[in-house]
Chain A
Amino acid sequence: MRALIALIVLSPWMVVLAGCSDSGGSDDDVPESLFSPLSGAIAIEANSRIDQDTMDQLRREGASPATAEQQLPASFVLAGYVSPNAGTYPAPARACQPQDYEQDPLDTFSVPLAVGETVVLKSFGTCGADVALELQVEGYPAVRTSGRDETAQFRLNAGQAGDYQVVVRNVGNLPSRYVLLKTAGTAQQNAAYEWPDHGYVEGEAIVTLTESASAAAPAFNMSAQRSAGVRKLGERTWLRTMTNTARAMAGGQMPPDTLAWIRSLREQPEVESAVPNYQMRSQSPVGEPLYGKQWHYGMINGPVAWQIEPSGGAGVNVAVLDTGLFRASGSSGWHPDLDRNVVTGRDFVDNDSDPRDPGSSVGGNVYHGTHVAGTVASVIDNKGSGGVAFGTNLLPVRVLGEGGTGSSADLIDAIAWLVNGSSGQPPRAQVVNMSLGGLPEIPQLESVMAAGVNKGMLFVAAAGNAAGSEKSYPAASRNVLAVSAVDGARNLASYSNFGSWIDLAAPGGDAGRDANTDGEADLIWSTSAVLKSGQYEADYRGLQGTSMAAPHVSGVLAMMKAEKPELDYGDIRALLESGELTEYSGRRSDQVGFGVLDAAKAVSAASQGFAGPVLSASPAVVSLSNEGVEAQVVELNVYGSAPVTGASVDSHPAWLRVTEDFSQKPFTLEVILLPDRLTPDVAARGDIVVSYNGSKQLHIPVIGQLITDEKARNAGKHFVLLVGTEPNEQGVYLAEAQVTATVQDGEYSFQFEADDGEEPRQLSGVAPGDYYLVAGTDIDGDGFICQSGEACAEYPVTGLREVVTVKVRQSISGLRMTTGFSRPTISAASPDILPRPKFKGYQLIDSRGRAVSTNPTRKALQ
């Protein structure tokens, strides 16, 4: 029997296929009342901790919220519960059960903090409602959770290292689950705390056949190639289309049919793997939170350009001729992601020196000028987004008024003001962005721009969104770079103008397409404002238009000007037409002019004395731990045509072994963690420094951790459930049997009992049948486990649950799984995880009566 158990644990599939065969002979002799049909243990993810007064505790008789500070270690992921009041949960069946909850307005912790460390709070609300929480670190103002993810964070920027009191306070009207975390760049920092819900192409799957199946079935391959339903992607890999399924279901909620079909494909013996047709979002090394959405920066080769021009266009003034900038009511500053870069501008609509965007007199507003300005130069501050020329000065000039319309007279006035006279006065801006158009050719406008060009100014304008070739001014002017818009696949956007007067293209987005297949519409993300509780607040949004394409070009020109201030319009045109600013095919086209903007090429071309190559590391940051990745291969990519010479690893932290291979491209470094050289449970940080071509250096940040908190881990009281394999009509998985487990030495153990067939049935009684084995906490006491902010484990691996079959008088023991607050993510390393649209957790057995079984197998067996 022992051998059989080992087999089960090693190979989860065997549970379904073989683990429950009749071979469990010896157990037949055990008296039914003594054996457990199912038992095992649950390990806990590193650094997991639980709030001392969750609903589990508060529901006990005489319990009251804890008053003492809870001590936390240097690294932790703690789940907790706070509620401003006591009450009863409302009962929409899918989200929570109508159970009572207790008051617990705040939780207090003592957290060791050092300068540069960050504490993050994520609020998950309850019953499907968002709830705002406050994070307050002793001696600092409270930070409120905000944004789509209801997240707040505090970074200790200066001051004394030591233990700080940290308070999590509920400032909403409902209870809330939360996760408070402080981790040091381990996997947990980038972990997801909600179930994956990626978009995928409905009715399609990428299927890899086993080698034998692929070789043995050439007929399948042949017919498949001819069939419209199958497309060959690789040697054994095919894109298969589900029959009778309409593909074109852009956006919106996907029905789960595709996922069920993919699960059935995985059960076919000739199929090695089957995954939905989605592409992974790249793990961007670029630090701003929104970068993951900003596909447009990768497309223009932004990250390489920023290495060549690390100041991001510092010292250059870019005038944004637009609707002005957003300023929150009563605020002394501009949009916080722009404010640091904004210099004094002017309002030519109201003719004053306050270029603020007053919004619309009626209805909503997207703050067009704020969005355009953000693409040029929002600041790098670990918040929101960064602009193409994140270090440049933003000079806001308001020429568009109500509804985003304006007069050519105001535009001419504004440009004249920027040109700043005909004599030796320097212009007020070196680059002028005009995300506006629709004008005819106006001689006065031409002459004022010509005067600017004579002073070295560079003008950029949106080509216009009429999807036609009619000239739109100012873009079509000979002194202006006309920018058309492309989508995520570098195709001309459906709305973009085109024609002989287009100079180059840049990403402008296309809401109707997901051409780069990242699962989201191809919008351009930047600074904006949204209406919250009757007032506009600084925020971010995705927009589309040639308005969004032009500022990418303006930002790159600002970086070029920073590299070489004397570059004038003639120089820029020469570089453009020789293909130095774009990914250039060698032939100009009416759609994209001289090609799609390439920031890296452009900035290299401008950079004086830029002869050498640039090395870039992938991944950009290496994170290693004894419980996660212990060794990582880092690729070093070379940008630029000049050869790399004399590359070597200069230095690296003593807790790493670094082996270099610079003999062929791509250059690689193998980085191995030496955990015994680390202080336990303290994250160590350091850089691997690679020097090349004499004085050039590449710094690769590395974080290493030796985790030794196994015994101290606690993820809270666990409910271990056997649930039916099919959800009920509301999409809820109901528990059929339920036991609880408390932590002991950093681990839980559980044991179900055989159903004796007598009424009332025991919660822990298991009848034969097919089940999923899951476990988790219900820290808000709403009758569901595995909601965001609650611990969750699924057998055998969270996110990849498999059916466990319980048979009459058979015992399965030694099952192991791992619980934690993070959720699996779909990545190159875990392609088998499927999205779980609408999944809300597992429903506990209602103590007032057992739920009706939804398990057909079980019914049959009964």
Chain B
Amino acid sequence: MTPFSMKVFAATALLLVLTGCAASGNTPLPQSAQVRQVTQSAHCGLTGPGVAYVNSAEKLDSFLGVRGQNMSTDVIRQVDLAQEQLIFVTLGQKPTAGYSLGLAEFSQEDGTLNLQMDLKAPAPGMMVAQVITSPCAVLAVAGGDWARVEVTGVTDQPLVERVKR
């Protein structure tokens, strides 16, 4: 075994053991993904709507280092990226308080992880704080055999992200 493949194996070993499919890397893993919401915030500092897959501490640092964000970074950092990976779903910049994103449902089909988000927005005529916000939800996903994330409920068209896992 070359040093390189050793390294790859070491990084994924835990996951493989947990999912019980360690025996062979050649057969597909018909395993369904588990998704949970880690946190949400009205001030994530990310100004465009989108979805981002985070599977390294380095990438996570770039998200948590965004100026103006006020997320519960502790609970996000507690996620063991070897076992669960993070998905940031951002609503983009909003003109007032009163917006929030949360996970409603998830499913996995044909290699796609479907995330249905619950978007709350102030009703017309509601009294709201006049501060610019940038809401987002941070999700953790474990396992599954998918290479594409499709997020509905955030924008008119689903947000799609191809993911290299």
Residues of A that sit less than 8 Å from B by CB: 251, 322-323, 360, 362-366, 368, 371, 399-400, 403-408, 411, 435-440, 462-467, 495, 511-512, 521, 523, 530-531, 533-534, 541-548, 550
Among the 9-residue stretches B12-20, B26-34, B93-101, the one with 4 or more Cβ atoms under 8 Å from chain A is B93-101
Q: Say yes or no: A543 contacts B131, CB within 8 Å.
A: yes
Can you pick out 8 interface pairs between chain A and chain B where the beta carbons lie within 8 Å of each other? Answer: A322-B129, A362-B100, A363-B40, A368-B129, A368-B131, A403-B100, A438-B125, A438-B127
Contacting residues, chain A, for B122 (C-beta < 8 A)? 405, 438
Among the 9-residue stretches B1-9, B69-77, B82-90, B105-113, the one with 4 or more Cβ atoms under 8 Å from chain A is B69-77
Question: Shortest CB–CB separation between residue A243 and chain B, in angstroms?
Answer: 30
Q: Say yes or no: B42 contacts A360, CB within 8 Å.
A: yes
Scoring B residues 50 to 78 as 1 if CB is less than 8 Å from chain A, else 0, what string do you get? 00000000000000000111111110000
Known: A438-B122, A466-B95, A511-B132. A406 touches B42 (CB 8 A): no
A542 to B43, CA, bound (A): 11
A439 to B122, CA, bound (A): 11
Interface size, chain B (Cβ < 8 Å): 31
Instruction: Decide yes or no whether B128 CB sits under 8 A from chain A.
Output: yes
| Smallest CB gap from A439: residue in B | B127
A628 to B43, CA, bound (A): 45
Q: Say yes or no: B127 contacts A437, CB within 8 Å.
A: yes
A362 to B42, CA, bound (A): 10
Q: Which of A400, A438, A464 has the most CB of B within 10 A?
A: A438
Instruction: Decide yes or no whether B130 CB sits under 8 A from chain A.
Output: yes
Q: Which 5 residue pairs across A and B have the least CB separation, nearest first?
A: A404-B97, A364-B41, A404-B129, A465-B95, A363-B40
Known: A360-B42, A436-B127. A405 touches B132 (CB 8 A): no
Select which of B43, B72, B125, B130 is within 8 A of A547 by beta carbon: B130
Select which of A363, A407, A495 is within 8 A of B132 by beta carbon: A495
| Smallest CB gap from B138: residue in A | A363
| Smallest CB gap from B137: residue in A | A363
Question: Shortest CB–CB separation between residue A480 and chain B, in angstroms?
Answer: 13
Select which of A464, A466, A531, A533 is within 8 A of B70 by beta carbon: A531
Instruction: Decide yes or no whether B39 CB sits under 8 A from chain A.
Output: yes
Known: A404-B96, A531-B72, A534-B74. A543 touches B129 (CB 8 A): no
Give the secondary structure class of B's interface: loop
A531 to B39, CA, bound (A): 13
Select which of B68, B72, B97 is within 8 A of A368 by beta carbon: B97
A582 to B146, CA, bound (A): 59
Question: Shortest CB–CB separation between residue A293 and chain B, in angstroms?
Answer: 12
CB-CB contacts below 8 Å: B128-148 with A: 128-132
| Smallest CB gap from A438: residue in B | B128
Instruction: Decide yes or no whether B120 CB sits under 8 A from chain A.
Output: yes
Contacting residues, chain A, for B98 (C-beta < 8 A)? 403-405
Apart from A437-B96, A548-B131, what 16 extra A-B contacts exist at CB < 8 Å? Answer: A322-B129, A362-B102, A365-B70, A403-B99, A403-B120, A405-B97, A406-B127, A438-B125, A438-B126, A464-B130, A511-B67, A511-B132, A530-B70, A543-B68, A545-B131, A545-B132
Select which of B40, B95, B102, B129 is within 8 A of A323 by beta carbon: B129
| Smallest CB gap from B129: residue in A | A404
Q: Say yes or no: A438 contacts B67, CB within 8 Å.
A: no
A696 to B28, CA, bound (A): 86
| Smallest CB gap from A364: residue in B | B41
| Smallest CB gap from A410: residue in B | B127
A405 to B137, CA, bound (A): 19
A407 to B40, CA, bound (A): 24
Question: Shortest CB–CB separation between residue A406 and chain B, in angstroms?
Answer: 5
Q: Say yes or no: B100 contacts A363, CB within 8 Å.
A: yes
| Smallest CB gap from B69: residue in A | A364
What's the A-B contact tally at a CB cutoff of 8 Å? 137
Select which of A366, A406, A546 is within 8 A of B43 by beta carbon: A366
A97 to B127, CA, bound (A): 56
Question: Shortest CB–CB separation between residue A137 and chain B, in angstroms?
Answer: 32
A807 to B70, CA, bound (A): 56
A738 to B43, CA, bound (A): 50
Q: Say yes or no: A405 contacts B95, CB within 8 Å.
A: no
Q: Say yes or no: A435 contacts B70, CB within 8 Å.
A: no
Known: A403-B100, A531-B73. A544 touches B131 (CB 8 A): yes
Question: Shortest CB–CB separation between residue A250 and chain B, in angstroms?
Answer: 11
Q: Say yes or no: B102 contacts A436, CB within 8 Å.
A: no
Q: Say yes or no: A435 contacts B39, CB within 8 Å.
A: no
Q: Which of B41, B71, B130 has the most CB of A within 10 A?
A: B130
Q: Say yes or no: A511 contacts B131, CB within 8 Å.
A: no
| Smallest CB gap from A405: residue in B | B98
A117 to B88, CA, bound (A): 49
Q: Which of A400, A534, A545, A550 has the most CB of B within 10 A?
A: A545
Q: Say yes or no: B68 contacts A437, CB within 8 Å.
A: no
Q: Say yes or no: A363 contacts B42, CB within 8 Å.
A: yes
Q: Say yes or no: B71 contacts A364, CB within 8 Å.
A: yes
A619 to B39, CA, bound (A): 48
Select which of B42, B47, B99, B128 is within 8 A of A437 by beta carbon: B128
A399 to B99, CA, bound (A): 18
Known: A403-B97, A531-B73. A511 touches B68 (CB 8 A): yes
A544 to B45, CA, bound (A): 12
| Smallest CB gap from B102: residue in A | A362
| Smallest CB gap from B125: residue in A | A440
A400 to B98, CA, bound (A): 10
Contacting residues, chain B, for A440 (C-beta < 8 A)? 125
Q: Which of A404, A440, A511 has the most CB of B within 10 A?
A: A404
Contacting residues, chain B, for A543 (C-beta < 8 A)? 68, 131-132
Q: Say yes or no: B127 contacts A407, CB within 8 Å.
A: yes
Q: Say yes or no: B71 contacts A465, CB within 8 Å.
A: no
Contacting residues, chain B, for A547 (C-beta < 8 A)? 129-131
A466 to B95, CA, bound (A): 6
Question: Shortest CB–CB separation between residue A443 and chain B, in angstroms?
Answer: 15
Contacting residues, chain B, for A403 (C-beta < 8 A)? 42, 97-100, 120
Question: Shortest CB–CB separation between residue B91 and chain A, in angstroms?
Answer: 12
Select which of A366, A408, A533 is within 8 A of B127 by beta carbon: A408
| Smallest CB gap from B101: residue in A | A363
Contacting residues, chain A, for B100 (C-beta < 8 A)? 362-363, 403
A546 to B67, CA, bound (A): 20
Question: Shortest CB–CB separation between residue B73 and chain A, in angstroms?
Answer: 7
| Smallest CB gap from B99: residue in A | A403
Question: Shortest CB–CB separation between residue A637 and chain B, in angstroms?
Answer: 34
Contacting residues, chain B, for A521 (C-beta < 8 A)? 67
A371 to B68, CA, bound (A): 13
Q: Say yes or no: A462 contacts B125, CB within 8 Å.
A: no
| Smallest CB gap from A512: residue in B | B47
Contacting residues, chain A, for B42 (C-beta < 8 A)? 360, 363-366, 403-404
Contacting residues, chain B, for A542 (C-beta < 8 A)? 67-68
Select which of B47, B120, B125, B130 is within 8 A of A465 by beta carbon: B130
Contacting residues, chain A, for B69 (C-beta < 8 A)? 364
A530 to B70, CA, bound (A): 7
Select which of B41, B67, B95, B130 is within 8 A of A467 by beta carbon: B95
Question: Shortest CB–CB separation between residue B70 and chain A, in angstroms?
Answer: 4
A323 to B69, CA, bound (A): 19
Q: Say yes or no: A404 contacts B39, CB within 8 Å.
A: no
Q: Say yes or no: A435 contacts B130, CB within 8 Å.
A: yes
